[in-house]
Amino acid sequence: MISVIKIFFRLQLVQLRSAMEYRADFWIAAVGAILQQLVSIVFLVTFFGHVSSLGGWTLWQILVLQGLVMAADGLREMFTDGAWQLRADVNSGSFDRVLVRPVPPVVQQFTALASIHGVGNAGLGVVVLIIGLAHSGVQWAWWSVPLLVLTVLCGAILTTAISLLTNMIAFWEPSAQSAFPTLIALMRDFAKFPLDIYGAGIRFVVTVLLPYGLISYFPSRLVLGVGDAPGWWAVTPVIAAAGSSLVASLVWRKGLNRYQGVGN
């Protein structure tokens, strides 16, 4: 297991280094990702220029939610964005090469691509998170920072598992084009706002079916001290990461057994 982890990081570092060889492209992509995310932040600040709270949450508290989601997704883009290449690889037959190499196929797929956008998203996410926490009047406890770090890491695992799951549609419908993975990925934006403002249907989707809310809303309420938050909510990020990883691994095995290659 340790050797596989080492291989994963070595392969991904190679991808990141190759991407950074072209300095202009690197900075354009990183800055472009930051500007793209800043649009939503500017909208949020403008909105709060007319209201004092949203669902009982202040602007700074919602920025904590935004920062957690952006940082987690940025890490996912940096280290496992190759999952988004799966449909094209299956469609073109390139996935055949993955199956004959002496490295776990999922590791090869994750490291097939390193998105420079992730550097900008992760960096901005951390900045937004810190700004939100600094202005939220947090009563810091010994577990606050470890919980935030754990939340971001589990968030990266969760978004990775969901990205892989949605792109595994290629094993059943081998088309290089599908709006389904993008649609599911956009659902994470619901976790950037307090779940109190949504109806029961949306809350069910983002806490059970696509548990993005478990890596933003619940741990944030604990750290920020918003309302009555039971202590066990601290493990919701772990539940989300472990559950999604288990489902993704089971579906991945079924997908590999189903895959026949382009020659069949």
First-to-last alpha carbon distance for the chain, in angstroms, is: 33
Mean pLDDT of 19-23: 66
Average pLDDT, the chain: 85
Neighbour count for residue 45 (Cβ, 10 Å): 11
Q: In angstroms, rounded to a whole number, what is the distance separating the alpha carbons of residues 235 and 221?
A: 13
Largest CA distance in the chain: 61
Residue pointed to by tokens 């810190």: 130
Helix axes 236-258 and 144-167, enclosed angle (nearest 10) = 20
pLDDT above 80 (res 7)? no
> Where is 5: in which H helix or E strand?
helix 2-20
Q: What secondary structure letter does DSSP report for 188? A: G
The tens digit of pLDDT for each residue in 183-226 reads 888 889 899 999 989 999 999 999 999 999 999 999 999 999 88
pLDDT band at residue 240 using 50, 70 and 90 as cut-offs: very high
- Tell me the per-residue pLDDT of 40-84, one tens digit each, with 9 for 90 and over: 788 888 888 888 888 889 999 999 999 999 999 999 988 888 888
Single-letter amino acid, residue 203? R
